[in-house]
Structure 1
Amino acid sequence: MRGKLGRALVVTCAVLAVLVTSACAFPVDGRAIAGPEVTAGTDPSFIGGTDGGEEDRLAAATLRDLEGFWGEALPALSGGQPFRPLAGYYSVDPAARNAAVPCLQNPREVEGTAFYCPRSDIIAWDRAQLLPQLRRDFGDAAVVVVLSHEFGHAVQGRLDRTGALAGAPTILLEAQADCYAGVFLRKVRDGALPDLRTGAGGIDGAMGALIGFRDPVGTSPRNAQAHGNAFDRVSSFQDGFDGDPAVCAAMGTDRVFTQQAFRSQADESSGGNLGLAPLIEAMVPDLDRWFGEEVRRRGAQWTPPTTERGQAQCPDADEPVQGPVAWCAPAGGAPSSVHIDTTGDLPGDHARIGDYATGTLLASRYGAATLAALGRPTTGAEGGRAALCLAGAYSAAVGTTNNAFALSPGDLDESVTLLLREDFPARGTDGVASAGTGYERIRVFRAGVTGGSDACLRGV
């Protein structure tokens, strides 16, 4: 069943980890990223097995808007061929013994998930557990993104006139469906559809759901059921949200994915995570090396900041306005310094989200030090945006040399999880944040990952 938000990998280990007791363990924090939405519920009587409740009314509104949107958009991609409606939709209570659903032998098979079945051309979902949990954790837009992802697989089949999909890597098919979902959510955000409405908070909620549906850390991108890590999934979503259906349809085997398997038993056993103190010890020399090289190749002088542990408050500030890690300008003849608050929330977030949440904070503050060395602004939205972008550029470069410090498979997931929730890495040294939404913070970070430091210093 193509497009299943994955019984083998994603559901049992991502969704059910929230819904029921599960043996799967993830470093991603479970705190919800929910946003307020206004949705016009639609009569769900066209949905097989519906109970007529709130979840199915939201699903019905989503599916009707999806049909209308793709009815207009698909002919431009298909050489004028009209959109053919799906054969059906099924709302399932997995506990119902006699619920007949195409492609399923037992309704319990849909527990905790949603899927598109190409054999019967239907979409089915668990209304008893999955949809209510998505709404509670992430808001209504989480239901919209899940169903629009599955609808994206139906679109793939309608565009695949040569049978090429049969040989495409699963991770590519899932990325394309995430991209199609991003296109649709942009229309929802823009108020361009009859039933659905959402604001920026809803888009952050949708991305929070995608992060929740990521593959377990260390899954190989060549795995037959790989859906992508959190970074890859939100990247595909943002490509669609900022683009159009043609951008998604053009995705091919040349697409680069950051998902990777563990490279060693030791890395796998630790989940790819270092403790707070070991991370600082290992990462600071590499930050000095990389950011120093960036400054020197531009003809400026780099003086490595000292590191101070305790509070993240600069001597000339009344409070720690940058967050749990701060870059402080030179004062009283002393060099600049990076202050790390090892006594507040940082240790807890480090343990909950993963070590590269701290790494992202550190890299962004070294980005501020780099801006100062180059005579660029470190304050305000401009300074915060460039510092965050440079953190992305550094993250893409880590491990590309023979240096001892390298990223582990889950590290970029930890970055996007942090950025969806907090604005600390996007703050200028005066505490002014460059972006008010997780969507925008991730977009700026990705610009550094894909474009490198030159893109950051040109402005993003």
Structure 2
Amino acid sequence: MASSSRTPSPARIVAALVVGLVVLVACGHREVVGTASALERISPDEAAGLPITSGPSGPRASTPPIRATALNSDGGPLDQLALAAVTDLYDYWEVEFPATFPGLTFEPVATLLSYDANGQGVLVCGMDTTGVPNAFYCPSDDSIAWDRGVLLPELRNTFSEMAVVTVIAHEMGHAVQYKAGQMGPAMPTILAEQQADCYAGAYFRYVADGESPFFEISTGEGLNAILATLFFIRDQAGTDYLAPRAHGSAFDRVSAFTFGFTDGPSRCAEMDIEELEGRITQLEFAEGDANSGELPIVEENVEHVAGSLREVFARFGDGPALDYQGVSCGNTAPVAFCEAEDVISLDLAALQVIGTAPRRQGDSGIGDFAAFAEIASRYALWVQARQGLPLRGDEAGLRTACLVGAWAGELLPDGAPRPGRVRISPGDLDEAIAELLTEGSLIAADIDGESIPAGFARVESLRIGFEDGMDTCLDEFSG
């Protein structure tokens, strides 16, 4: 979020990349036109209908021979991992491609190339790979290339071996686009990238269903690591979604992946620019936004956020009081809803740790919106209490995440400036995704701090609220 005295042009507001909040907003009901997954699929202990598992994720102990080969390979374990992914993807798309695009057959890409960004450069797609830690598909020569020296080790070491598979699956998604005739000069980069994320999600459903002879993945921590990988490779906050190299915010990339994982490649093939513009949440910074959209977590700004919550949920009453003397009830630090006292108590210093944007790997902070959304989650419990709904259990956690999403959806900067209110800014929703993927997410927790088991369900619940609003949260998660 960020203090500001003006609202960006409506033409620039077809999105809200997740990172910061900003003071000002026209409230009133807002609907994001998009394609949400069927609500009956949102279960606290399932990922798109699959039970949450905590087993191994990665290459299987015994696999078929790897048939794919890459030019310039060093034969090392990372290249072998990438080639195993390519072989598995070939098998997957050999079946799914003609089913998705009747009358067409899938042909392997013409060239696979491995290189080391720190080593001797090679020429591919008209580019010297020296110092280029990347993975990419080149339509001009139908090739997929990857950097085994910097990018793949970073993905493996930060997340898991399956993060490497995620990137290869994404690049194969571009090959699918090209071979299906979807990719052309008129296709915006953002659409190409989101569709490739969706195709990657469809492939990972095949893995999660146990059909891959090469890989396995748990639908708990394993799938969470994949979603975290998409967060890692998101666009920088403030990127114009129509920029030539835009890939999408973490919120939008995770959404696209989810579409494929839930509904399969046919859902991905239906993506077009109209659908994309109806759901994209990627904003540029407004003129006057300070600190890259990051508000300090101080009492004054917390009061601004509380004011926005009171306005968004005004029909339920005046709202609970705020107590800044530290968490005084329950065990949901750094903020709690004290039902008996009708108070939200908070530990401002602990919230400041969460609300500080990380500047290097290993920093414990997430960003201002993560802290403010945790406050919003406890306010959401007050809303549920006013409705006489249970405040304990997984259903309460689902409602809480959904209501936080509904609040965030009302904060898109689509109206005249109103001092003292808050609006969402670039990067805010991505910070919410990061918090939702932490082990003890408070955004998706009940009054006792028990989080929904499935990270997949946490993210989906927030997205449903963001797109469909608070009435959907209260009606659909009413158990």
What are the Cα deviations for residues 414-435 of structure 1, in whole angstroms up to 9, with x where unaligned? 11111111421111113332x2
Is the CA contact 2:327–2:335 (under 8 Å) kept in the aligned structure 1?
A: yes
What are the Cα deviations for residues 277-302 of structure 1, in whole angstroms up to 9, with x where unaligned? 14302111111111123x3xxxxxx2
- Once residues 431 and 107 of structure 1 are traced to their aligned partners in structure 2, the CA distance between those partners, rounded to angstroms, is 48
- Once residues 229 and 35 of structure 1 are traced to their aligned partners in structure 2, the CA distance between those partners, rounded to angstroms, is 29
1:451 equivalent in alignment to 2:471: no
1:271 equivalent in alignment to 2:292: yes
Q: Pairwise mapping of residues 269-348 of structure 1 onto structure 2 (< 5 A)?
A: 269-277=290-298, 278-293=300-315, 295=316, 302-314=317-329, 317=330, 320=331, 322-331=332-341, 336-344=342-350, 346-348=351-353
- How many positions carry a matched residue from both structures? 406
- Once residues 118 and 229 of structure 2 are traced to their aligned partners in structure 1, the CA distance between those partners, rounded to angstroms, is 24
What are the Cα deviations for residues 78-130 of structure 1, in whole angstroms up to 9, with x where unaligned? 22211011102111123443x64431442315x21100000110110010111
Is the CA contact 2:200–2:260 (under 8 Å) kept in the aligned structure 1?
A: yes
Identity of aligned residues (%): 35
- Once residues 313 and 121 of structure 1 are traced to their aligned partners in structure 2, the CA distance between those partners, rounded to angstroms, is 61
- Once residues 43 and 72 of structure 1 are traced to their aligned partners in structure 2, the CA distance between those partners, rounded to angstroms, is 18
Match of 1:31 in 2: none
Cα distance change, pair 198–229 in 1 and its aligned pair in 2 (3 A)? same
Deviation at 1:35, TM superposition (A): 9.5
Q: Which one-letter code corresponds to 1:282 in the other structure?
A: H
Match of 1:440 in 2: 457
- Once residues 141 and 340 of structure 2 are traced to their aligned partners in structure 1, the CA distance between those partners, rounded to angstroms, is 67
- Once residues 58 and 207 of structure 1 are traced to their aligned partners in structure 2, the CA distance between those partners, rounded to angstroms, is 19
Cα distance change, pair 364–75 in 1 and its aligned pair in 2 (3 A)? same
What are the Cα deviations for residues 140-170 of structure 1, in whole angstroms up to 9, with x where unaligned? 1211111111100000011117xx6321211
Deviation at 1:68, TM superposition (A): 0.5
- Once residues 327 and 35 of structure 1 are traced to their aligned partners in structure 2, the CA distance between those partners, rounded to angstroms, is 34
Cα distance change, pair 261–223 in 1 and its aligned pair in 2 (3 A)? same
Is the CA contact 2:67–2:87 (under 8 Å) kept in the aligned structure 1?
A: no
Q: Pairwise mapping of residues 397-436 of structure 1 onto structure 2 (< 5 A)?
A: 397-398=410-411, 399-400=413-414, 402=416, 403=418, 404-421=421-438, 422-433=440-451, 435-436=452-453
Is the CA contact 1:96–1:107 (under 8 Å) kept in the aligned structure 2?
A: no
Deviation at 1:60, TM superposition (A): 1.3
Q: Which structure's residues are more often helix, by fraction?
A: 1
Match of 1:206 in 2: 226
- Once residues 122 and 369 of structure 2 are traced to their aligned partners in structure 1, the CA distance between those partners, rounded to angstroms, is 46
What are the Cα deviations for residues 380-432 of structure 1, in whole angstroms up to 9, with x where unaligned? 11112111110001100114555431111111111111111142111111333
Match of 1:355 in 2: 368
- Once residues 95 and 376 of structure 1 are traced to their aligned partners in structure 2, the CA distance between those partners, rounded to angstroms, is 57
Tell me, which stretches of 5 or more residues in structure 1 are unaligned? 1-25, 29-33, 296-301
Match of 2:109 in 1: 86
Q: Which one-letter code corresponds to 1:304 in the other structure?
A: G
Cα distance change, pair 440–71 in 1 and its aligned pair in 2 (3 A)? same
What are the Cα deviations for residues 52-99 of structure 1, in whole angstroms up to 9, with x where unaligned? 2111121111111100101000112222211011102111123443x6
1:239 equivalent in alignment to 2:259: yes
Cα distance change, pair 234–423 in 1 and its aligned pair in 2 (3 A)? same
- Once residues 106 and 193 of structure 1 are traced to their aligned partners in structure 2, the CA distance between those partners, rounded to angstroms, is 35
Is the CA contact 1:44–1:57 (under 8 Å) kept in the aligned structure 2?
A: no
What are the Cα deviations for residues 430-456 of structure 1, in whole angstroms up to 9, with x where unaligned? 3332x2232221111111111211221
- Once residues 353 and 430 of structure 2 are traced to their aligned partners in structure 1, the CA distance between those partners, rounded to angstroms, is 17
- Once residues 236 and 457 of structure 1 are traced to their aligned partners in structure 2, the CA distance between those partners, rounded to angstroms, is 25
- Once residues 431 and 391 of structure 2 are traced to their aligned partners in structure 1, the CA distance between those partners, rounded to angstroms, is 25
What are the Cα deviations for residues 181-210 of structure 1, in whole angstroms up to 9, with x where unaligned? 111111112211111111122211111111
Q: Which one-letter code corresponds to 1:246 in the other structure?
A: S
Cα distance change, pair 101–189 in 1 and its aligned pair in 2 (3 A)? farther
- Once residues 385 and 27 of structure 1 are traced to their aligned partners in structure 2, the CA distance between those partners, rounded to angstroms, is 22
Q: Which one-letter code corresponds to 1:157 in the other structure?
A: Y
Is the CA contact 2:19–2:368 (under 8 Å) kept in the aligned structure 1?
A: no
Deviation at 1:361, TM superposition (A): 0.8
C-alpha RMSD of the superposition: 2.1
